[in-house]
Structure 1
Amino acid sequence: MDIGFPYRIDARGRTGEAADHAVHVRDLVEQVLFTSPGERVNRPDFGCGLLDLVFGANGPELAAAVEMTAQAALQRWLGDLLTVESLTVRAEESTLRVSVNYRLTATGLSSQVLIDGGTSA
């Protein structure tokens, strides 16, 4: 059973499930990317903190740093579930664009997560 994200109770009063394994892994990728280090009580180093960058200064330096931290976080926390095929971060005007292409270990299927986030200029 793959637990759905965000956590919910289904109509039967049980923990809600993800539609399938691919959806579950996509949810996990988003959790790793958006969770700030220090946010989880028993895992203080979990995540890479993209949400912390919403009001930060944008530029090529930020894009390079995010690319490295996101790649490391995905490899560390989800390395047994997926292989990151490419991870690109582009700083365009006031937007930071993150694209993650990965292959599921269990099925071999490829998938992609795209994130467009505004930052301050």
Structure 2
Amino acid sequence: MTTEPWTGKGPRFPLRPGGDGRLAYATGAELVRQAVTAILDTEPGERVMLPGFGCGLRRYLMEPNTTATRAGMQRDIEDALARWEPRVTVTNVAVTPGEEPSLVWIDISYVRLVDRREDNLVYPFYLR
């Protein structure tokens, strides 16, 4: 069973040519992971046609790496993924401190709805 009709097909990021010299495309699980990363990387207001898109992690820059900061980040990530990524059900978002004082690890576990497979994404974010 192919999942492409349901998950879609889009340009692979960063944009670069594929082996045949044409624009490379992502499908299936790779496209979903790219979409989750795009939500994390985007600030609301950056996209003219979707001004609410993104989760706004940059508002946490220069904040202390405290439990309250990480809880706010977790809440914002959960809300943004629920709103902007309908192809997954998020099962867990963990925001934990890293080895460096300004580093937090964002660990997102989710289930792809098209094939019910579990996947996860680990995203490092520096507060400073």
Following superposition, the deviation at residue 34 of structure 1 comes to 1.2
| Count of aligned pairs | 118
Aligned mate of 1:36, from 35, 43, 51? 43
Aligned mate of 2:118, from 110, 113, 119? 110
Render the CA deviation track for 1:50-77: whole Å, top value 9, x for unaligned: 2453433321111111111100100101
Contact 2:96 2:104 in 1 (8 A): yes
Q: Which amino acid aligns with 2:70?
A: A
**Alpha-carbon RMSD:** 2.0
Runs of 4+ in 1 over 6 A off after TM superposition: none
TM-score of the aligned structures, taking structure 2 as reference length: 0.80
The equivalent residue for 2:95 is 89
Identity of aligned residues (%): 29
Find the aligned partners of 1:54 and 1:10 in 2 and give their Cα distance. 35
Find the aligned partners of 1:54 and 1:7 in 2 and give their Cα distance. 27
Render the CA deviation track for 1:10-43: whole Å, top value 9, x for unaligned: 455644211x400110000000011011111111
Gaps of 5+ in 1: none
The equivalent residue for 1:119 is 127
Structure 2 matches for 1:33-72, cutoff 5 A?
Answer: 33-72=40-79
